Amino acid sequence: LSAFIIYLLAITAIIGIVFKKDLTVVLAASGAAGIVIGMALQGLILDVFSGLAINLDRAIRIGDNIRMHGSEDSVIEGKVEEISWRTTRILDRFCNVVILPNRAVAAATVTNFSLPQPFLETSVTVTLDVEVPADRAIRILQAAAVEASGQFAPVAAPSPSVTVKEITSEGVQYTVFIYPSFETRPRGRNLVQQAILRHL
């Protein structure tokens, strides 16, 4: 773009100074042509400047796990594979590459699961009989979650915790909080539930 502007100024200067031509007609024609070209390439120009804004803002980076909330309640979730001048490529959970124009990324609400930490909080709810002492239930559930966390939680993730969520007619509901990475959420929940079954 810089080279194009420099060449354009140089050619204009050569026509005006060397050949002593009146630049009014040339500038008027180039202005009209610029408007026509700008209208024709409006989407492309918007994509280029949106890509520039995305790269400067650094709200998302290559390798980040994101969720995009677009128009009409559409949700795209996956890993950012590439951010170019015109498009952003996202590898979704079905291993499909979703190619989005940068203007769609700039207009969407984006949740970045990779910032500020490479893990997120999720939970597993377990209902136990009211006759099970709460301190014993919490101890058993926490031991199970800690045992399973070694297989999926990042090193910097906090230790799992357990709280009493609610007392219902069916029993006492306990919430087990775990901290998997974005990719290991389903596997983490599965492993924790298996460990809880073993410990119970």
Q: What's the pTM value of the predicted model, to 2 decimals?
A: 0.62
Within the chain, residue ranges assigned H as helices are 2-13, 23-40, 42-57, 102-107, 134-149, 185-199
Mind listing the pLDDT tens digit for each residue in 141-170?
999 999 999 999 988 899 999 999 999 999
Tokens of 34: 């610029």
Q: Is 87 exposed, middle or buried (0-12, 13-18, 19+ CB in 10 A)?
A: middle
pLDDT at residue 187, rounded to an integer? 92
Q: Which residue has the tokens 């929940």?
A: 189
**Contact present, 188 and 180 (Cβ < 8 Å):** yes
Give the model confidence (pLDDT) of 36-45 as tens digits: 777 777 788 8
| Six token digits for residue 66 | 């994101």
Classified as helix, coil or strand, 101 is strand
Q: Report yes or no: 130 and 167 within 8 Å, Cβ to Cβ.
A: yes
User: What integer pLDDT is reported at residue 22 of this predicted model?
Assistant: 75
Closest CA to 57 of 105, 119, 91: 105
Q: Please, what is the end-to-end C-alpha distance for the chain in angstroms?
A: 66
Q: Which residue has the tokens 């200067």?
A: 13
Residue 48 burial (CB count, 10 A): 17
pLDDT band at 140 (very low <50, low <70, confident <90, very high): very high
